[in-house]
Structure 1
Amino acid sequence: MNQTKKLLIIGFVWPEPNSSAAGGRMMQLIAVFKEDGFEVTFASPALDSDFMVDLSVFGVEKKSIELNNSSFDDFIIQLNPDVVLFDRFMIEEQFGWRVAENCPKAIRVLDTEDLHCLRTARQKAFKENRIFELQDLLSEEVAKREIASVLRCDLSLIISEFEMKILNNIFKINCRLLFYLPFLTDEMDESDLLNLPLFEQRESFVFIGNFLHEPNWNTVQHLKESIWPLIRKEFPEAVLQVYGAYPSQKVLQLHQPKNGFFIMGRASDANEIVKKAKVVLAPIRFGAGLKGKLLEAMQCGTPSLTTEIGAEAMHADLPWNGFITNDIELFAKQAVTLYQDKNLWEQSQKNGIAIVNECYQKDKFASILVNTVNDLMNDSENHRLHNFMGSLLQHHTLKSTKYMSKWIEAKNKN
């Protein structure tokens, strides 16, 4: 093992913590490994963006890499990482075989972000106007790819306890290959509310979310067409501000100030906007994982309304920091009540703090994660010996993906 532990993260995109919850989670992971003494290199085939974080500020080396190019092999042999973390299964598909071939001793960790197959299957069921059933996952094409990726890796980070159950019960994945890791936050105290704007100092409803993420676009459509008219009927002065990175023209066309519906575009500081809002609205109809926007609302002392899918696996058995309902009329009525009832609003704030402290404490998860990874580094052979299906998939994938990639590389040179 190297004297200095090295972690290579291969990113689907460069982290944008101000644009998406995925970017924020990636920065949390970097912080955890840095605190444990890892040297961290972040590589990605993505183009630079105007909103990507400056990784050098966090002591992380940045490296641009190419898909289907053997230059990656030279890079990883020279770096010789102890641990490689793949950002989503698509990245493991592209680079996992190269890591296994060139650095076979490196521990391979997959950060699923959320279960893509769950999000895809739910979206399909929604568009086909039928009830989603867990058995749908078994015929989902994305599931075959995603579960194969989980099996090929030594450890997969799973953000939702509901998704842990799916992997255990539906796909029969060995618990040794999975690690439950929600968003990581610092502890809060009710005295923290004193540093936040008071009920009387806040105004407007707010929605915030990256529009490259289909569930967010669908949520805004749902708000505009079905829920906002009901809220305005009961509360004519109501204002909704919709923020989000990468709004398309179809999003911008929903801007309708005369009806109190404002498309605001990218938030320069999402935290500040949510702190000043009175209530967060998130009637999410399909999706997976945990909803960063709802955790952020709790941290900002801002009550929220969402659906059962929105709140899924987010609050244990604790009371929500607002309301959870799938009924649009009840959603609208409760939104107005929460906006106008100071006592209810302040109790919802306290509920949010209890959820943050119970479910997302960094101290509960960070040290266990690094201990698990360090144990794997010391006992990888034995661990892999007990993951026969993973070894089998690695063997066949290394052959098939390797030669497909080499064919593409040769084709690109001609």
Structure 2
Amino acid sequence: MNILIIGHVWPEPSTTAAGKRMLQLVDAFLDFGYKITFGSTSSKTEFSYNFLSKGVDCVELQLNNSSFDEFLMELHPEIVVFDRFMTEEQFGWRVSDILPNTLRILNTEDLHSLRKSREEKNLGGWKQHPMTLRELASIFRSDLTLMISMVEVELLVKEAAVPESLLMHLPFMLDIPTEDEIKKWPSYKDRTDFVCIGNGKHAPNIHAIKTLKQEIWPLIRNEIPDAKLKIIGAYLPQQVLEMHKPKEGFEIMGWILNLDQVLQNARLLLAPIEFGAGIKGKLTDAMCNGTPNITTAIGAEGMYDDMPWSGAISHNWEEFVHNAVRLYQNEMVWKEAQANGFNIVSRVYSKDKHRTALKERIKELHTSLTTFRNDNIIGRMLLQQGLAATKYMGKWIEEKNRN
């Protein structure tokens, strides 16, 4: 089976959780025996994943260009995956026009409209944010939307009347640490200091680093004078680089190749996240390396199925500092938090369980696609009316560029 994935960007699994998520999807499709082609309109970077190493064909796509139509007819994929709603807006009408029987899957990563609404503190809430209707329209037009957070599934169903049949909860698909791997983890006594992970292109991360520098770290440092905090992440802006103060124990490390090693040597991960959506790769990375964390309710949202958290969920910065100091200094509490993290990743993020569910869902859709689409009357309406504007605007831009 041929599958085309249209990426919003070329995935960077070594720098972003979204990149890791995309690589997990690619590995799942390869495991299903699919022949994968990955395309994007964006430019590659030094961190872009080398898909050729997995036998995945790569193609550079152009916006508002009929060359995509010719490419699509030649490739003739049975499935097209749109990475985030923007790519569905740009290419969905072309896929629908040229290959009407092709299964269209939307991969959200997180609900962009929810994240932007929280970031901008939109007074009208998520429903009133201008991005929300665009994202909802994309979800209705697609045959299946992959949702990384169950909280966001419930939001769409309860607040926007999205049929559950259009959605699939598919969180990170992780390799769970084996007993032998766990035995090799450094012990509590062999670990030291704190770590914070955050890609500099992601606004919630920059806000969290500023909060650490201004509100949290000075208080932790007063309690643990010799402690250090290492800030790890690619694309850190100048304002963050200038926070590098080794004498204060605040060290800006930038991007690091072996993140697992850094996490296994750290005693605690700090993630004071005040806004965002989806689920947080930095927190599952920490759990998979036996590193407890201190975060917020937004940070832990949708991640743990109400199981005991791998550390502490704090509701203000005073509580955040208290929890960080307590876990750092109390070996018994720390070990309990570490065990909780392993239980969470084992139960919630098992790769084999979620791959099986995805494969069965795709098979089910393929066998009843006509009936399924007939039942999705809002999606049919949006395809006919809403995409007409996008379609002819795209054609107008293409003609303008040609002239």
**Do the aligned partners of 1:84 and 1:109 also contact (CA within 8 Å) in 2?**
yes
Instruction: Please give the TM-score of this superposition, normalised by the length of structure 2.
Output: 0.98
2:97 maps to 101
Instruction: Choose 286-295 or 393-402, whichever is displaced more.
Output: 393-402
Q: Secondary structure at the match of 1:376?
A: helix
Matched, 1:17 2:13: yes
Q: Secondary structure at the match of 2:189?
A: helix
Q: Secondary structure at the match of 1:367?
A: helix
Q: CA deviation at 1:398?
A: 3.0
1:263 maps to 252
- Residue type at the aligned position of 1:214: A
Q: CA deviation at 1:232?
A: 1.0
Q: CA deviation at 1:199?
A: 1.5
Counterpart-to-counterpart distance in 2, 1:374 and 1:334? 46
- Residue type at the aligned position of 2:387: L
- Residue type at the aligned position of 1:309: I
Spell out, residue by residue over 1:25-74, the C-alpha distance to the aligned partner (whole angstroms, 9 max, x if none). Answer: 10110111111111010000011111111101112111111111111111
- Alignment map for 1:208-219 (pairs within 5 Å): 208-219=197-208
1:310 maps to 299
Q: Secondary structure at the match of 2:106?
A: strand
Q: CA deviation at 1:193?
A: 2.3
Spell out, residue by residue over 1:81-118, the C-alpha distance to the aligned partner (whole angstroms, 9 max, x if none). Answer: 00000000011111111111111111000000001111
Candidates 363, 367, 371, aligned match of 1:382:
371
1:331 maps to 320
Matched, 1:115 2:104: no
Q: CA deviation at 1:359?
A: 0.7
Spell out, residue by residue over 1:197-234, the C-alpha distance to the aligned partner (whole angstroms, 9 max, x if none). Answer: 12122121000111111100110011111011111111
Candidates 338, 349, 359, aligned match of 1:360:
349
- Residue type at the aligned position of 2:322: K
1:89 maps to 85
Matched, 1:163 2:152: yes
Counterpart-to-counterpart distance in 2, 1:274 and 1:400? 49
Counterpart-to-counterpart distance in 2, 1:199 and 1:28? 31
- Residue type at the aligned position of 1:226: E
Q: CA deviation at 1:189?
A: 4.9
**Do the aligned partners of 1:232 and 1:238 also contact (CA within 8 Å) in 2?**
yes
2:3 maps to 7
* Structure 1 unmatched runs, 5+: none
Q: Secondary structure at the match of 1:40?
A: strand
1:373 maps to 362
Spell out, residue by residue over 1:240-278, the C-alpha distance to the aligned partner (whole angstroms, 9 max, x if none). Answer: 000111111111111111211111111212222111111
Structure 1 moving runs of 4+ over 4 Å: none
- Residue type at the aligned position of 1:370: K
Counterpart-to-counterpart distance in 2, 1:109 and 1:272? 35
**Do the aligned partners of 1:14 and 1:44 also contact (CA within 8 Å) in 2?**
yes
2:71 maps to 75
2:34 maps to 38
Q: CA deviation at 1:348?
A: 1.1
Q: CA deviation at 1:333?
A: 1.7
Counterpart-to-counterpart distance in 2, 1:124 and 1:322? 29
Matched, 1:347 2:343: no
- Residue type at the aligned position of 2:155: I
Q: Secondary structure at the match of 1:199?
A: coil
RMSD: 1.2
**Do the aligned partners of 1:82 and 1:377 also contact (CA within 8 Å) in 2?**
no
CA distance 1:183–1:207, shift in 2 (3 Å): same
1:296 maps to 285
**Do the aligned partners of 1:190 and 1:350 also contact (CA within 8 Å) in 2?**
no
Counterpart-to-counterpart distance in 2, 1:239 and 1:188? 27
* Structure 2 unmatched runs, 5+: none
Instruction: Choose 336-345 or 47-56, whichever is displaced more.
Output: 336-345
Q: CA deviation at 1:188?
A: 3.6
Counterpart-to-counterpart distance in 2, 1:333 and 1:136? 32
**Do the aligned partners of 1:282 and 1:310 also contact (CA within 8 Å) in 2?**
yes
**Do the aligned partners of 2:77 and 2:102 also contact (CA within 8 Å) in 1?**
yes
2:243 maps to 254
Q: Secondary structure at the match of 1:63?
A: strand
Q: Secondary structure at the match of 2:21?
A: helix
**Do the aligned partners of 2:176 and 2:288 also contact (CA within 8 Å) in 1?**
no
Spell out, residue by residue over 1:377-397, the C-alpha distance to the aligned partner (whole angstroms, 9 max, x if none). Answer: 222111100000001001113
Candidates 230, 233, 237, aligned match of 1:241:
230
- Residue type at the aligned position of 1:178: L
Counterpart-to-counterpart distance in 1, 2:84 and 2:384? 20
- Residue type at the aligned position of 1:102: I
